[in-house]
Amino acid sequence: MNTRVDTLVIGGGAMGSAAAWQLARRGRDVTLLERFEPGHTNGASHGASRNFNLSYSDPTYVAMLIEALQLWRELEDETDTRLLEQVGLVNHGAGQPFAEVHAALTAVGFDPEMLSVAAAAERWPGIRFDTEVLYTPEAGRLNANASVAALQAAAAALGARVEHGMPVTRITVAGDDRVLVATDTEQFEARRVIVTLGAWTSSLLGGLLPLPKLVVTQEQPAHFAVLDTSFTWPGFNHGYRPGTAGYDYWRSPVYGMHTPGEGIKAGWHGVGPVVDPDHRDFTAEPEQLLALRRYAREWLPGADADSFVEISCTYTTTPDSNFVLDRRGPVVVGAGFSGHGFKFTPTVGRILADLADDLPAPPLFALDR
């Protein structure tokens, strides 16, 4: 069966679903193909919680945050769902660029606040703080599973075709405005193709685009049972200076948030084992898990380090941790979100849709940067 479509999106995680939604909003003829069934746990878009973290000073990312906040609310209105809870986020730890972040956020109308250790401990007794705290009240928590479902529902309501269980086996560029895409059951011809395959990007696009090195790791946070419910848990980022006494067991900075019904999520950032996404064991590396439990015991007195559930997901990381959002000929790619992309999902979708419509993306995300 041969099908002609204006724009084909390959990969129905958060970013591809957002691109399909944005294109459908513009009245484009768009089809979204996803290899796995709805709600799968093979990639990076599953789970019930992600931090909507505002702690950036780079002007490109700050502008994307402003837009993302607006677009998340528009998506909620379109689908009658609640996706973003603005419970705030606390940043602490040595060596962090709090002054730059505070200045950048204040300049665009956010209300960051600097707090002493004592003031923060009184407000959030379930977290132990070791330096002054940068609190961003407009930050919060996103429901990842519900977000992907809402994006696909919104795209479909506007006329997009959304297909699950349809892996793409081959992409052939046949001209400046013609791409041939093969699956096991259907062949497509499209004017533009948007590829948002996460950990599988290099395996499908290798040779078609000059991709940077994309390192796929299996990350292994955990949910710890909640002990203290006397306050609203904010998200948290905890940095450190490597080599400092008492932090020798740390693998990286730590991030976390409360996942309602599941516990306090905490994890190391981007230091899991390198994996083939088709041959993962979904099991935490024992030493990293022991270290994470020690972190919870020492720094999260409001959580139970001995009562936990392991989580497994993937990161696909670029050499500079900046995203890849670019186009070559009729092929658009969104990749390398490096463990900090989810909060930007609707803005990334807009950028990918712009690229398919021959509009530029921010230079920070160029393939040849």
Say what the alpha-carbon torsion angle 271, 274, 279, 280 is, to the nearest 10 degrees: -10
Instruction: Give pLDDT, residue 207.
Output: 86
Q: Superfamily assignment of 89-137+216-317 in CATH?
A: D-Amino Acid Oxidase, subunit A, domain 2 (3.30.9.10)
Instruction: Note the pLDDT tens digit of each residue in 277-329.
Output: 999 999 999 999 999 999 999 999 999 999 999 999 999 999 999 999 999 99
Asked if residue 324 lies in contact with residue 352, where contact means CB atoms within 8 angstroms, the answer is: no
DSSP string for 320-334: TS--EEEEETTEEEE
> Which amino acid makes up residue 148?
V
Instruction: Note the pLDDT tens digit of each residue in 72-128.
Output: 999 999 999 999 999 999 999 999 999 999 999 999 999 999 999 999 999 999 999
Instruction: Give pLDDT, residue 284.
Output: 92
In this structure, the number of other CB atoms found within 10 A of the CB of residue 358 comes to 8
Q: What is the mean pLDDT of residues 327-348?
A: 98
In the CATH scheme, what architecture does the domain 2-48+146-212+320-365 have?
3-Layer(bba) Sandwich (3.50)
Instruction: Give pLDDT, residue 198.
Output: 97
Instruction: Give pLDDT, residue 117.
Output: 98
In this structure, the number of other CB atoms found within 10 A of the CB of residue 319 comes to 12
In terms of C-beta density within 10 A (0-12 exposed, 13-18 middle, 19 or more buried), how is residue 86 classed? middle
CA dist 315 and 338 (Å) reads: 6
Instruction: Note the pLDDT tens digit of each residue in 231-267.
Output: 999 999 999 999 999 999 999 999 999 999 999 999 9
* CA end-to-end distance (rounded Å), the chain: 40
Q: Tell me the pLDDT band of 1, cut-offs 50, 70 and 90.
A: confident
Instruction: Give pLDDT, residue 262.
Output: 98
In this structure, the number of other CB atoms found within 10 A of the CB of residue 306 comes to 10
CA dist 197 and 334 (Å) reads: 8
Instruction: Note the pLDDT tens digit of each residue in 8-30.
Output: 999 999 999 999 999 999 999 99
CA dist 322 and 218 (Å) reads: 19
Dig out the tokens for 170 from the structure. Answer: 């081959």
Instruction: Give pLDDT, residue 116.
Output: 98
Percent of the chain whose pLDDT exceeds 90: 99
Q: What is the mean pLDDT of residues 184-212?
A: 96
> Which amino acid makes up residue 218?
Q
> Which amino acid makes up residue 312?
S
220, 219, 26, 264: which is closest to 128 by C-alpha?
264
Instruction: Give pLDDT, residue 346.
Output: 98
CA dist 12 and 120 (Å) reads: 40
Between helix 144-157 and helix 59-79 the angle, nearest 10°, is 70
Instruction: Give pLDDT, residue 37.
Output: 95
- Every domain of the chain and the residues it spans: 2-48+146-212+320-365, 89-137+216-317
| Mean of per-residue pLDDT scores for the chain | 97
Looking at 5-116, list the stretches that DSSP marks H as alpha helix, in order from N- to C-terminal side.
14-25, 59-79, 98-107
